[in-house]
Structure formats: C-alpha cells, structure tokens
Structure 1
C-alpha cells in the first residue's frame, strides 16, 4: 500500500525548498541520516559540501565524498520508503544535486565550485518563485560564493534573489557572512536565523538537558528505535559505541522546515521543532537571552561569543538559566525522536506495520480577531489518522510565542473541541498563540499540531 501525501504540507502550505551546505563533521553525518529520512517533505535543490572554521581539506576533513555512502544507503532503503510516501526523491535525483563547494580552507569563497554554481543556478531560476531555505551546517562561504557570482554577473537580479532567500545558520562558522553577505546583501534584509540553541542537540547534552528529555537519547532507546534492525541508512548513524546519541547540532536547520502544523516558517519567533528566536536587528533573529543587562554583540554570533556556548563552558551546576535558554528546542525532543523512530521503521517495515503521523485540521480559522472578554471556540473535528489510530488532544497556550503574557484558561483542554475566554486585561493588538497538539495511539506515538493565533481587537 502506498500512502497518500498525508502531511499537512499538501493541504495547508506550499512545499518548501531547501539547500543544505555542510562541512561533513561527525555530527553533520548524524544529521544527514535524519535529513534523508525527511526528504519526502521538501524539494531538495542542492546538497553541497562546504568548509568551516573546524573543517576543510587537509584539516580534520571527512573527505570530498563523505555524503556518498549515505546516499548509497538511502538507495537501499528507498524502495521501502516509497511504500510510506510516494514523494521520496529518487537516489539518482539526490546524487545529481550532491556536489563539492568551497572547501580548500576556512572562508575560501573565490573559486567557482560546482556546488556554488548549482546554488547560483537555483537562485537565479525565475520559473520557481517559492522561498528557498539555505542551511549552513558549516560555514557560509559556498553560499557567499554563489551570491557573489550573482552580484558580479546579474546585479539586476539581486533583489529578486534576495526576496527568495531564507538563511538558517548554525553559528557563523567562518567570516563570510560578516565580510561579504552582510555588507553586499544587507540592504535587502534577508530573513536570517542564527542559532546557538542547537547546543540542545550538541555533544554535551547529558550535562544540560532535563532527565525526561535524555530518555530519548540514551543508548537503550537509540538501539531499539534507530540503530539496530532499521536498514542500511540507520546502520551508518554514528552514535557512541553503547548507542548513546552523539550530537546532531545541525538538525535544527531542517527540523525548522518540517511541516508539523506549528507554522514556524511564518516567523522565527513563533517557535517550533527548530527552536524559537527573537529579532535583534531587522529580519535577523537569534536566541533569546534572559540574563539581566545582556547586550547582543553587533557582529559575528559564533563559538567565541554565543551566549549559550560560553555559558556552557562555565559548568555551573544545575544551571537553570542555560536549561531555559535551550528550552525552545528541547521541549520538542520527545515528539521529534518518536518521529525519527517512525521514519527509521519506514526503511524496513510495510505500511501496515509502521506508524504515520496524524493530520490535524481545525474547523476554526487559524487567525482570529476577538475582543477582550470574548469567548473563542476551537474545534479539531476534522483531524484524522492515516492508520486509523485513536487520537488524543491537548490544547495549550504557548505564551512564549504570543505578546500576551498573562494566564489564559482553556476549558476542556483535553477534548477535541474547546473554548477559551480572551482575558479581560488583554490589550488591543495583543496576540495569544494556542496550540492544538494531537497524538496518535500507534507505536511510536506520533504528534502533529495546529496553531491558532488570536489577535485582540
């Protein structure tokens, strides 16, 4: 049985386009396994090997072709993945788009490499105007080279290209964002996320994550759900020898684009599987720092000055401030890992023997205007499950994402239909974000969402 395109991307938003650039670090390789299992969710335009401050040719280098064994393993499980979603790209399609970028040294952006040329071609293509999420798992130098080619050869198209670009950076792992992209393209205010929260998935997770989140990362869970008897691709996953999760510091860059129903692509400050970010300069978003008196640096946000990374080095016991700093990301770890486990199953199991996420559909509008004191009715009656599993519902106020910070009471929050009273002290223009979280009864239990945003009149 081949499933329909059951994810919400087919019904509530257009399909997302992604370009990955990676320096091939060991945690990039772990992220790449997960990424390949989600390629049915996006249009993958390019997978490009780049360099970084940590890795380049001749310096801790994984090899120019580090991605190929993973693509070959993907080819082995591809026929089975198709049983679960017909939108998985062919191995040939992905291999054609996996190219070498600028890798000779940290920040090198002068050479016109095959990877940079492909990015240039994709960005200039006017037959498709959909946004493109450019992910820098390493440095931004190959992206910068592509943009420089456009500036040099097609300056009249810079505004068009900039309008399509969305950047998600895992730190600035070289200086090309500051030295080239920002000075030459800054006037276009390209939406940019620069993440330090990714350290929630970093090598030191045992030191800082809450125990209930760590349960999904220890060897016993990883061995059972990912590493053993889950096909050629998962066999390549570089966990620790005992099965413990190692690191996937780059995964948030694509977790942000998975269509879960959280609407995180609408604004980085909405929050979702890829974290939640605040705007510190025009269209430039990074991590929310709650330390009193803190001032963000004006330039590069990276290993030497990113707040969380430096706080981590202090090794403060039971550091609540650091744990809360990472919460916009780690609060989703349970659903994220269960989803990963289901995808691992897709590589080896039939459609009937695996689980697939529920589809959450609300009868109410997703954007509602209401007065203070008004009752707002919410209804998830249109939700369903492709496996006909039993669904459970939970409605909750995501107060970090909205501007109204008071208490919002949701009646019958565990029912399919509910209501809430807009608080009497809510001011005109305040926003209240309400999440409908739906879990199925399959194994592993899978979660999807819908977000209703109430704006006070």
Structure 2
C-alpha cells in the first residue's frame, strides 16, 4: 500500500514519454543562431570560451575575432597586458580532442578545422583603436556584406571592446555606403558593457539610427568576478568549488581541464550571457530583449538600444558610454545595508533566476566530452497542444494547456512547471498563476485591458543527471 501511494505521488509530478529510438528522428531542435564573437582574451573570456565551444552545436559560428578593450590591449602593462592571440587556436585544439565524442551527442557540432577557419585577429594594438583595417575587421565586414539570402540575422557578441566591430562598419561605410541599411538590417548586437570608446565615438552616430537591435548589458556582472558577493545563496552552490570540481574541472576531458578557475571554484564568465541569449532554449528572448531569457532581460532606452531595468526610480540611464566607470553593478557591489542588498538582488534577478539550469546545462555538455550517448543526459523536447504560441483571449476566458505529450530522448521522467512571467508582459495586475500539472488551464484575469500581454512559461525538466530543462513561452494578447 505504501509503495503504491509513493508511486502515485511520483507520477502526479512526472510524466514519461519516449525513448532514444523513438525520438531518433524527432529531436531536431530550433534553427541554429548565426554568431560572431569578439573577445579581448581576459581570463573570464577564456572561461566563457570553454562553455561557448561546448555550445557550438547550437550556433552557426561566423567568426571568432581577437580584439582589444579599455582593460587589455597589445602593449598594455601589468593587469592591462594582452593575452597572446594564439589562445583561441589553443582552445579550439583542446575542443578538437573531445570533438568526436561530442558528435555522439549532436552531429551538428562544427569541426575544429571549421572553427579555426573562422578565427581572425582584429584591432588589438590600442584601447579603442578602430582606424586600422585589420584582417578581423575585414572578415566581419565581408561576412555582413555577403548576400547569402539567409534570412537569419547575425548576432555580434562584444566580449571586449567594440573597436574591431567599429573598424568593420567603417570599412562598409567608406567602401559600400549604399549597403549600410542592408547590413544594419542583418545585425544584432550584444555588448558586455561598452569596453572602449568606439561605440560612442563611431558606431552610435553613424549606425544607431538604423535601429539595429542592441543590448548593452550590466547585469552580466553577476556571472563575472563579483558572483560570490551578489548571487543568492541558493544559486551560489552551483558555482562553488565542490560543484565546479565534480561537474566541470575533473574527469571531463582536455577542454574542461583548461577552464580558468579560482582554486577549483568558479572564477568569472562575464561574457557568457551574450551567447546564453543566443541559445535556442524555447524562451523566445531573441524576438525581443524585453522578454527575458538566459542572457537577462532588458528595456528599451533609445532608438533600438536596450539596457538593464532600473534598480530604482532614482537611477538614470547614462547619456554616454555605459561601462565600468558608471556601472550600476559596480555602484552596488559593496552594499551591506539590507534594503540595498535586496535591491541589488532584484536587479540581477532577470539573469540569476535561470543560473541553476544554466550550470546544469554546462555540466551535461561537460559529460558529453567523455561519455557515450546512453550514459549521458540530453534535453527534453516540449510538445504542447497549441497550434500557435501567440494567442488572443478575452478577460475571464479559459485557455487549456497541455504538455503531456512532451518527450525525453533518454526516456527520463519529465516534470512540468507552468508559471506566469509578470515582468515580461504588459499586464501588471495583482494576479498569480503557477501549476505543476502537465495538463492545466489558465484563466485570463478579469482586470486585464485590451492590448495587454501576459507571458506564460512552460518549463519542462527531466530527472536525468544532471537534470536538463527546456521551455516554451506562450504570449497572450488581451482583447474584448
């Protein structure tokens, strides 16, 4: 009797559908995102590169470019010293040592030879220098100018300064001015701060009016060097020595063994949010930076430029360069007053709310480096009863939600969690929705007004080791 009772509890929470054989032709995820990485090679860039390379099955990598920043440039002294550009080649070679094992888990992983062909050296000789037409700048320009009839945008991630990107865009402006609008329409930018003067001095006055979707992030800093000061304790455990050593640093192949760390603990990956934003998790955040996803959530501040939500009404967005010197994160880093600490925690929440799942995803990819398919875990596949994820509904209308046909490639049990993401929608009424049942119903609140939006997240996690999660976002637009 007791055993029957326990099983009934288990299966009221988890569902189980599918085996690896059944899903062999069913597990193709969403289309890959086109990306260009521009990096100044700091220690946290090198840590981010390990995770990035393990995530390249999700991307079409168009370029990996050395650049400088206000912090590191060729000829810089002491802390400003520039890490030799060959580190990218070395990391790709380490990736090559685990590449064939990664293929066991996803045939879409690019070859080391392909990645090496995309590695170029950009503007590295000074802080913010963008006049020289370096190989890296010309490579970016050529990529953006190529008329390949591919409708997918190119996401350019500035892990360091914007100077090599500025040089590339200056080449286009000077040599192909008639193509500037076409190129701008192709670009999406994710900047980890403005780490030199190039954005304000050249890109903003010459390109921003083309309405290029541009994220300039400060909330990334909770994954950088201050993580152990600002992350909630429940999240910090995924970054501490015991977890990192067990799941990443030891016994996971050559690439993970090279991961820069702090005596076995997480050191920093300040640049990682830029490509977490580009992962196809199902959160649809690439449609709109205000939706929120693994790379954070942002608000539009001018043109099509998006920055972090204000910590409080007393804060004002910068009129010029947004970076280390006027960072809200740095302003709040040393807060000790309980009210200020709570405000800082809320400020970083758009990013840290996902970080346990982000770290488990990293752990699974680390295992793909050394385990065969049957011994590792893989992401669940969500199947909903809806023909569209964009719905129209009236106040008081009931919407039936059903994720019971979701599947897992490893045959694991699946747990479904439905929840309303109030910050992402425009409806701001006092209404809460949450359910742990695969089949549930959502009743549109009676006080919702025409045109307001409500975001419902379907979160599906398996019970594998490490547990993996994927999402579907349903956006309800209210009408009368």
TM-score, length-scaled by structure 2: 0.92
1:240 maps onto 2:257 in alignment: no
1:87 paired residue among 108, 130, 137? 108
Q: What is the CA distance between 1:409 and its match in structure 2?
A: 4.7
Residue of structure 2 equivalent to 1:367: 390
2:157 and 2:342 map into 1 onto residues whose CA distance is 30
User: Cα gap change, 1:228/1:324 in structure 2, threshold over 3 Å: closer, same or farther?
Assistant: same
Q: Gaps spanning 5+ residues in structure 1: where?
A: none
Which residue of 2 is the match for residue 379 of structure 1?
402
Q: Quote the residue 2:230 is aligned against.
A: 208
**Equivalent position to 1:39, from 34, 56, 61:** 56
SS in 1 for 2:333: helix
Q: 1:440 aligns with which of 448, 457, 462?
A: 462
CA contact 1:379–1:418 (8 Å) conserved in 2: yes
- The 2-side partners of 1:432 and 1:225 are apart by 37
Counterparts of 1:323 and 1:383, CA distance in 2 = 34
1:286 corresponds in structure 2 to 307
Select which of 338, 356, 359 maps to 1:334: 356
Give the aligned partner of residue 39 of structure 2.
22
State the distance in 1 between where 2:209 and 2:356 align. Answer: 40
Return the offset for 1:315: 5.2
1:421 aligns with 443
- State the distance in 2 between where 1:346 and 1:383 align: 23
The secondary structure found in structure 1 opposite 2:373 is coil
Q: Secondary structure at the match of 1:280?
A: strand
Following superposition, the deviation at residue 4 of structure 1 comes to 5.7
Count of residues paired in the alignment: 451
Change (3 A) 1:64 1:212: same
What is the aligned partner in structure 2 of residue 52 from structure 1? 69
Q: Which runs of 5+ in 2 are unaligned?
A: 1-19
Change in Cα spacing, 1:108 to 1:313, as seen in structure 2 (3 Å) is farther
CA distance in 2, matches of 1:314, 1:416: 42
Q: Does 1:343 align with 2:365?
A: yes
SS at match of 1:116: helix
- Conserved in 2, the CA contact under 8 Å of 1:257 and 1:265? yes
Distance 2:356 2:119 in 1: 31
Deviation at 1:8, TM superposition (A): 3.0
The answer to whether 1:66 aligns with 2:83 is: no
Question: Which is greater in Rg?
Answer: 2
Please state how far the C-alpha of 1:446 moved relative to its aligned partner: 0.4
Shift of 1:111: 1.1
The DSSP-based 3-state class of the residue aligned with 2:326 is coil
- Per-residue deviation at 1:207? 1.2
1:6 CA displacement: 2.8
**Partner in structure 2 of residue 227 of structure 1:** 249
**Deviation at 1:88?**
0.3
Distance in 2 separating the partners of 1:448 and 1:135: 23
CA contact (8 A) 1:20 1:46 kept: yes
Distance 2:248 2:32 in 1: 27
**1:187 corresponding residue in structure 2:** 209
Which residue in 1 is equivalent to 2:476?
454
Q: What is the CA distance between 1:7 and its match in structure 2?
A: 5.2
Give the 4+ runs in structure 1 shifted more than 6 A: none
Q: CA RMSD in A?
A: 1.5
**What are the Cα deviations for residues 166-196 of structure 1, in whole angstroms up to 9, with x where unaligned?**
0000000001100100111122011100000
CA distance in 1, matches of 2:185, 2:42: 31
Which residue of 1 is the match for residue 292 of structure 2?
271
Q: What's 2:419 paired with?
A: 396
CA contact under 8 A between 2:209 and 2:303: conserved in structure 1? no
Mapped partners of 1:176, 1:392: distance in 2:
47
- The more displaced of 282-291 and 392-401 is 282-291
Q: Report which stretch shifted further, 136-145 or 181-190.
A: 181-190
Distance 2:67 2:336 in 1: 32
8 Å CA contact 2:311, 2:344 repeated in 1: no
Native 8 Å contact 2:57 2:106 kept in 1: yes
Report SS of the residue matched to 2:235: helix
- In structure 2, what is the Cα distance between the partners aligned to 1:4 and 1:203? 42
